[in-house]
């Protein structure tokens, strides 16, 4: 269960930090020269403190605290699960500027100052979205030894000073016990039966003692009040756990734990990325989970291994990201409810709704096919470029060899000398890229070092064929007579 926020105490802690920072700001000495009427110059020394926080920053933080407490209490009273990260305030500079009656530039500067002081934390959600804002836990709640000292100093007022404390906007939770008596959960300062806030003088003196006394009871001499307090705390924890469980939606019956975790992970992530501003009741969550259970996972009837289910879950979460990006860039698009409200099969996660979540699979397949075609076209173009480069390298080698040997040249390079032929191929290979230009330069330098002579291992194709072809000798009958060679 989320802790409660007391706005008054939180703002007092902020003021302490504010005054501490201003008191620690250094003073800078300045020398000022003033010319008097008689023409003499008099020097004045004055000090000026630097780094002071502006007074308007207190107003901005007070508004932030009010807005954050409102958003925090709303999430804390409706959230089915307690997350490690605290609820955030979704807002923007323009909205805060309207409330604070200043410009959005002033709000932006104040937020930067508060971030530098580590009093708030923000997270940017995109150009077309608000930003998330968290207030430091040290400001929201007391921590450490300072908390203990402050709690010990809050003694009850005297009977002659019965004071009604001002109300705050923190929410109060009540729990009905077995005797039909409502017990109030302690959240900051509570209320007594007279409607007053804080500890009042009508409490018994034994409850106001700052030290915990023990009584010797039984043979073992256990602490009676200590044991009683532990039992009350345990009962209170059980009641809180029952309240949290009562808010959790019911999952389909006879569902394995592994599948239940997959189902809840999908629903909570879909709620976060698709419906961040919606509040679903317990019944609406059960309807959404039922639609997801049937329309997305087909009641988990498909035969898959654990690895296949993990891959399938990753695929579904990827589809949720794709849908969230689409609705982020198309705010005018209509996003249906996760379950059917009036017409059956019109929910976003229903299997019958081909234009809902089910249609994203075809969208991903089209994108995958398009990416495959693009990769194939890229590979074909790269292979074509490779073949053209190899062909030009061979052609350039032969042209330089023919030019050196004085043989007839091709029509494109007739009448060119060595420098003109080199420049001709340099322009061609520069158009193919640095890789081919470097290969051409390397080949030219190697040929130049060898006086443009053809390599010894490169013989005409006819000679290579004759070298590898078998030699056939036809022997006639007369060659075998007498003592001839073939006899």
Place of tokens 């879909």: 270
HEC states along the chain? CCCCCCHHHHHHHHHHHHHHHHHCCCEEEEEEEEECCCCCEEEEEEEEECCCCCCHHHHHHHHHHHHHHHHHHHHHHHCCCCCCCCCCEEECHHHHHHHHCCCHHHHHHHHHHHHHCCCEEEECCCCCCCEEEEECHHHHCCCHHHHHHHHHHCCCCCCCCCCCCCCCCCCCCEEECCCCCEEECCCCCCECCCCCECCCCCCCHHHHCCCCCCCEECCCCEEHHHHHHHHHHHHHHHHHHHHHHHHCCCCCCCCCHHHHHHHHHHHHHHHHHHCCCCCCCHHHHHHHHHHHHHHCCHHHCCCCCHHHHHHHHHHHHHHHHHHHHHHHHCCCCCCCCCCCCCCCCCCCCCCCCCCCCCHHHHHHHHHHHHHHHHHHHHHHHHHHHHHHHHHHHHHHHHHHHHHHHCCCCCHHHCCCCHHHHHHHHHHHHHHHCHHHHHHHHHHHHHHHHCCCCCCCCCCCHHHHHHHHCCCCCCCCHHHHCCCCCCC
Asked if 311 and 328 sit in the same domain, the reply is yes
What does the alpha-carbon distance between residue 325 and residue 318 come to, in Å, rounded to a whole number? 11
What does the alpha-carbon distance between residue 483 and residue 474 come to, in Å, rounded to a whole number? 18
Asked if 232 and 267 sit in the same domain, the reply is no
pLDDT tens for the chain, 487 residues: list them: 677 888 888 888 989 888 988 888 888 888 888 888 888 888 888 788 888 888 888 888 898 888 888 888 877 776 655 666 788 888 888 888 888 888 888 888 999 999 888 888 888 866 556 788 888 888 888 764 444 434 444 433 444 444 444 444 444 444 444 444 444 444 444 444 444 444 444 444 444 444 444 444 444 444 467 778 778 778 777 777 676 666 678 888 888 889 999 999 999 999 999 998 888 888 899 999 999 999 999 989 989 999 999 999 999 999 999 999 999 898 888 899 999 988 888 899 998 988 889 899 888 899 999 999 999 999 999 999 999 999 999 999 999 999 999 999 999 898 899 999 999 999 999 998 999 999 999 999 999 999 998 876 656 677 667 666 677 777 777 777 777 666 6
Q: What values do phi and psi take at 131, rounded to 5?
A: -110, 150
Asked if 21 and 104 sit in the same domain, the reply is yes
User: What is the CATH number for 88?
Assistant: 1.10.10.10
Look at residue 479 and tell me if it is in a domain. no
269: which 2 tokens? 């992530």
Domain enclosing residue 346, as ranges: 257-357
Asked if 273 and 232 sit in the same domain, the reply is no
248, 204, 351: which is closest to 292 by C-alpha? 351
Look at residue 483 and tell me if it is in a domain. no
What total of structural domains would you count in the chain? 4
Domain end: 203, 220, 248, which one? 248
Asked if 436 and 412 sit in the same domain, the reply is yes
Look at residue 469 and tell me if it is in a domain. no
Look at residue 153 and tell me if it is in a domain. no
Asked if 124 and 21 sit in the same domain, the reply is yes
Look at residue 324 and tell me if it is in a domain. yes
Asked if 306 and 403 sit in the same domain, the reply is no
Asked if 11 and 132 sit in the same domain, the reply is yes
Asked if 15 and 134 sit in the same domain, the reply is yes
Asked if 244 and 261 sit in the same domain, the reply is no
What does the alpha-carbon distance between residue 145 and residue 142 come to, in Å, rounded to a whole number? 9
Asked if 289 and 408 sit in the same domain, the reply is no
Asked if 427 and 339 sit in the same domain, the reply is no
Q: Which positions ≥6 away from 280 have C-beta within 8 Å?
A: 271, 288
Look at residue 147 and tell me if it is in a domain. no
Look at residue 465 and tell me if it is in a domain. no
């Amino acid at each position: 269960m989320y802790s409660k926020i007391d706005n008054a105490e939180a703002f007092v802690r902020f003021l302490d930090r504010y005054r501490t920072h201003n008191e620690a700001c250094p003073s800078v000495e300045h020398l000022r020269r003033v010319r008097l009427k008689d023409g003499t110059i008099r020097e004045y020394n004055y000090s000026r403190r630097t780094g002071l926080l502006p007074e308007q920053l207190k107003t901005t933080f007070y508004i932030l605290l009010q807005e954050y407490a409102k958003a925090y209490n709303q999430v804390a009273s409706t959230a089915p699960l307690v997350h490690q990260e605290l609820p955030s305030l979704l807002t923007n500079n323009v909205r805060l500027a309207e409330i604070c009656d200043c410009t959005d530039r002033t709000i932006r500067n104040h937020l930067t100052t508060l971030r530098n002081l580590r009093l708030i934390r923000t997270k940017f959600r995109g150009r077309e979205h608000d930003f998330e804002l968290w207030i430091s836990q040290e400001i929201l709640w007391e921590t450490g030894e300072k908390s203990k000292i402050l709690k010990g100093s809050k003694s009850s007022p005297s009977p002659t000073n019965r004071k009604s404390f001002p109300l705050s906007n923190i929410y109060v939770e009540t729990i009905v016990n077995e005797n039909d008596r409502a017990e109030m959960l302690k959240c900051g300062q509570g209320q007594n039966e007279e409607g007053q806030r804080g500890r009042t003088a009508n409490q018994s003196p034994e409850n106001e003692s700052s030290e915990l006394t023990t009584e010797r009871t039984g043979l073992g001499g256990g602490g009676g009040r200590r044991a009683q307090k532990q039992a009350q705390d345990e009962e209170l924890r059980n009641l809180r756990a029952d309240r949290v469980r009562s808010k959790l939606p019911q999952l389909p019956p006879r569902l394995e734990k592994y599948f239940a975790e997959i189902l809840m992970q999908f629903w909570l992530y879909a709620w976060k990325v698709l419906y961040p501003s919606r509040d679903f009741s317990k019944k609406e969550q059960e309807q959404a989970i039922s639609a997801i259970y049937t329309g997305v996972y087909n009641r988990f009837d498909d035969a898959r291994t654990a690895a296949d289910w993990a891959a399938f879950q990753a695929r579904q979460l990827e589809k949720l990201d794709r849908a969230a990006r689409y609705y982020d860039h198309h705010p005018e698009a209509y996003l249906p409810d996760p379950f059917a409200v009036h017409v059956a099969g019109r929910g976003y996660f229903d299997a019958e709704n081909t234009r809902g979540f089910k249609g994203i699979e075809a969208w991903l397949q089209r994108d995958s096919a398009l990416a495959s075609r693009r990769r194939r076209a890229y590979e074909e173009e790269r292979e074509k470029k490779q073949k053209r480069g190899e062909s030009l390298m061979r052609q350039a080698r032969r042209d330089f060899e023919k030019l050196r040997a004085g043989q007839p040249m091709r029509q494109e390079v007739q009448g060119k000398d060595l420098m003109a032929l080199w420049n001709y191929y340099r322009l061609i290979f520069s158009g193919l890229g640095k890789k081919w230009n470097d290969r051409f330069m390397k080949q030219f330098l190697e040929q130049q070092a060898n006086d443009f002579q053809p390599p010894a291992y490169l013989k005409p194709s006819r000679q290579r064929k004759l070298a590898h072809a078998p030699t056939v000798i036809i022997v006639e009958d007369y060659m075998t007579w007498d003592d001839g060679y073939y006899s």
